[in-house]
Structures are given as C-alpha cells and as structure tokens.
Amino acid sequence: MFSGIVEEMGVVKSLVPGLAGARLSILAGTVLKDLQLGESVSVSGACLTAAEVGETDFSVDVSVETLDVTTLGALAAGAAVNLERALKLNDRLGGHLVTGHVDGTGILRERTQAGNTLLLTLEVPEFILRYCIPKGSITVDGVSLTMNGVSENGVSVAIIPHTAKVTTLGIKQPGDVVNLESDLIGKYVERLLQHSGKLPEKAAPVIDRDYLQQRGLT
C-alpha cells in the first residue's frame, strides 16, 4: 500500500525482455536507503517487488499483465520514473490509499500554466472515469492528485510547483501516456451495491479496437 507521495525520481538503467515479462533496473538514491529484497516499490504507479538491490540501483521483475496495462513496457534507458516505498503502519497518509495496481492508461491532452500552477487535462477511459468525481482522488503515474473537474471523457488536475519539480508530471507533454489508478473506495462501494442488488452488474466488455487501445494493446 502506498500514499501517492513520490519520494524521488529514478532513472531507468535498463529494461530487458524475458520469456514471462521483463527485468527493469532503476538508478535511485532515497529509496535505496533501507530497501530490502522482496519489498514493494511503486514505479510510476505500479507496485513491483525488489528482486535485486545494489548501492546505486535496484531491479524488479515486471509481469506480462503489468506490461500490458501500464506504460512500463515503453520505458527506455534514461527515462525518468516516480518512486515510492511502501507505507509503514505509523506513516502519515499525505495523499490517499494507493494500491499500486494500475487500472489502465490515460493520455495527457492539454498542459497550461496558470501562475505558478500547472494545469493538466487527461483523457481517461470510461472504465476508470466511472469512479472519478470532482474533488475526488486519482493516482497519475504514482502521484496522488485531486480532480478539479470531471468531463465526459476525462479529468483535470492542478500540479503545484513542488510536485512539478520532484515528479515526472512536470515534464509530461500533450500526447504522453500516463498510468492511472482510480480511488479504491469507489470500487468497493460499487461492488457492495452490486452484490446487494442495488446496482446492476457490469456488462461484459466488448473486445474491439477501442477496448484494446485503451489498455495499450494495439
């Protein structure tokens, strides 16, 4: 479990494909201080397990499922990623409850500056947008953010100078793809209402080109 408060930006050292996923190595500093083998690290929003820990870098194994639903498979050496170690039970929850289980990807459609605040407009697929509400929480590339507005096809968020400086959101440009995780509480509420018969069950998805594109499979 994470809070969505990024500790540092790491730099991709390598991404090596394998038979069942890939091995991702990342240069880092802060997160290495007490990182142990087997511990969880959020890498741009995806919860991954430390498989190797060195003095200047660490490595994680990325499953095929994670490569399919996140942006991690497109990473190259030199790319920046947001890093956060798992929460401790006595930590302050500065953001919101983040599982690190990425729901899917969105696209940055607009980037504007309003004074010292960076405003981002994101296109969000419907299966994630259903859990989005104004002033609710969403995780974008591992960063806990408050949604200023919700439209028919996306959300808008404001990035303060500190967040723009210490995360990859400050360098994202229109057209860039980002990892999204919707608020965990909304998913549980929906499921409980469905189980009690107060909401219909989700319809089976239509597997077409749009469905595949939303999940980065085309």
pLDDT tens by residue, 84-94: 999 988 888 88
Q: Per-residue pLDDT tens for 205-216?
A: 556 666 666 555
Please tell me the predicted confidence (pLDDT) of residue 88.
87
Higher pLDDT, 48 or 195: 48
* pLDDT score of 204 more than 70: no
pLDDT score of 90? 84
- Tokens standing for 179? 């990892």
**Cα separation of the two ends of the chain:** 30
**127 and 40 in a common domain:** no
Q: Which of these three, 85, 115, 137, is where a domain ends?
A: 85
Q: Over range 113-117, report the average pLDDT.
A: 95
Residue 136 has pLDDT above 60, yes or no: yes
Residue 194 belongs to some domain of the structure: yes
pLDDT at 180: 98
Do 128 and 182 form a contact (C-beta atoms < 8 A)? yes
Q: Is the pLDDT of residue 203 over 60?
A: no
Asked if residue 36 is part of any domain, the answer here is yes
Q: What is the mean pLDDT of the segment spanning 125-143?
A: 96
What does the pLDDT read at residue 188?
79
State the Cα–Cα distance between residues 96 and 139, nearest whole angstrom. 9
Residue 113 lies in a domain: yes
pLDDT of residue 94: 86
Q: Do 122 and 207 share a domain, yes or no?
A: yes
In-domain check, residue 91: no
- DSSP secondary structure, 26-46, as one string: EE-SGGGSS--TT-EEEETTE
Using the structure block, give the residue that is written with the tokens 């430390």: 50
Residue 66 and residue 145 in one domain: no
- Which domain range does residue 13 map to? 8-85
52-59 own/partner pairs: CB under 8 Å, 24+ apart: 52/25, 56/27, 56/28, 56/29, 56/32, 57/13, 57/25, 57/26, 57/27, 57/28, 57/32, 58/25, 58/26, 58/28, 58/31, 58/32, 59/23, 59/24, 59/25, 59/26
Are residues 112 and 210 both part of a single domain? yes
Q: Which two tokens stand for residue 92?
A: 């302050």
Same domain? For 62 and 35 the reply is: yes
Q: What total of structural domains would you count in the chain?
A: 2
Are residues 151 and 179 part of one domain?
Answer: yes
Pair 131, 210 in one domain: yes
Does a structural domain hold residue 99? Answer: no
Greater confidence (135 vs 207) lies with 135
Same domain, 12 and 81: yes
Same domain? For 113 and 209 the reply is yes
Q: Kindly state whether residues 58 and 116 are assigned to the same domain.
A: no
Q: Please state, rounded to an integer, the average pLDDT across all residues of the chain.
A: 92
Q: What is the DSSP letter of 72?
A: G
Q: Which residue has the tokens 């240069």?
A: 27
Residue 115 has pLDDT above 90, yes or no: yes
Give the chain's length: 218
Residue 93's pLDDT is: 83
Tell me the pTM: 0.87
Model pLDDT for residues 31-72, shown as the tens digit of each residue:
999 999 999 999 999 999 999 999 999 999 999 999 999 999
**Distance between CA atoms of residues 179 and 102, nearest Å:** 6
Last residue of a domain, one of 37, 58, 85: 85
Residue that terminates a domain, selected from 31, 56, 85:
85
Q: Give 156-216 as a DSSP string.
A: EEEE-HHHHHHSGGGT--TT-EEEEEE-HHHHHHHHHHHHTTSSPPPPPPP-SHHHHHHTT
CATH number of the domain encompassing residue 19:
2.40.30.20
Same domain, 29 and 112: no
Q: Looking at the structure, do residues 137 and 80 belong to the same domain, yes or no? A: no
